């Protein structure tokens, strides 16, 4: 399996509850390496741009409000099959449907405040990584 990179975001519900380290341990325990990481408070414009693919969805405005309600931690995870591996570690979007032992099952507050974002394809991972990081900031 080829080494791959994916974009992860620890969302405001998780930073508010001081869960960054516990969530990072889940990634590392699954064999994913955190090869870039920064904590930032998104502007409304940045949140809308990042979630632009969802702008027609009913939850878009609430989602953007939530994403600017506190700091986030943006990170690049690297490893074999990193996109799929990260989605597996995260669990389903709705924590009520997430498998036992996943981040969202153990930490998410709701389908919206679900603690983590992870890219859904290698193609989107490349776009989302470039949204937050320049190549010089990613050290594998």
Active-site annotation, residues = 117
Helix, strand, coil content of the chain in percent (nearest 5): 45, 20, 35
Distance CA 27, CA 100 (A): 16
Q: How many residues bind ligand ADP (CB under 6 A)?
A: 9
Residue nearer to Mg ion on the CB measure, 121 or 139: 121
DSSP 4: E
- Pick one of ligand ADP, Mg ion, none as the site partner of residue 63 (Cβ within 5 to 8 A by kind): ligand ADP
The CB-of-53 to ligand ADP minimum distance in angstroms stands at 8
Specify the stretch interacting with ligand ADP by CB under 6 A; choose among 29-37, 39-47, 113-121, 130-138. Answer: 113-121
- Which residues, including other chains, have CB under 8 Å from residue 71's CB and lie 6 or more apart? 12, 15, 39, 40, 41
Q: CA 41 from chain center: how many Å?
A: 14
> Using CB under 6 A, which residues numbered 76 to 95 contact ligand ADP?
93
| Per CB under 6 A, 115 contacts ligand ADP | no
Specify the stretch interacting with ligand ADP by CB under 6 A; choose among 25-33, 40-48, 77-85, 111-119. Answer: 111-119
Binding site for ligand ADP (CB under 6 A): 54, 59, 63, 93, 111-112, 114, 117, 120
């Amino acid at each position: 399996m080829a080494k791959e990179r994916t974009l992860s975001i620890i969302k405001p519900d998780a930073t508010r509850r001081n869960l960054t380290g516990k969530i990072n341990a889940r990634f590392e325990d699954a064999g994913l390496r955190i090869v870039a990481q920064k904590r930032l408070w998104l502007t409304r414009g940045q949140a809308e741009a990042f979630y632009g693919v969802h702008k027609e969805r009913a939850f878009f405005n609430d989602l953007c409000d939530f994403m600017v309600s506190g700091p986030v931690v943006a990170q690049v995870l690297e490893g074999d099959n990193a996109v799929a591996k990260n989605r597996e570690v995260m669990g389903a979007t709705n924590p009520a449907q997430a498998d036992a032992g996943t981040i969202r099952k153990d930490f998410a507050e709701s389908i919206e405040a679900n603690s983590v974002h992870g890219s859904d394809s290698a193609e989107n991972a490349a776009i989302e990584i470039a949204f937050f990081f320049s190549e010089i900031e990613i050290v594998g």
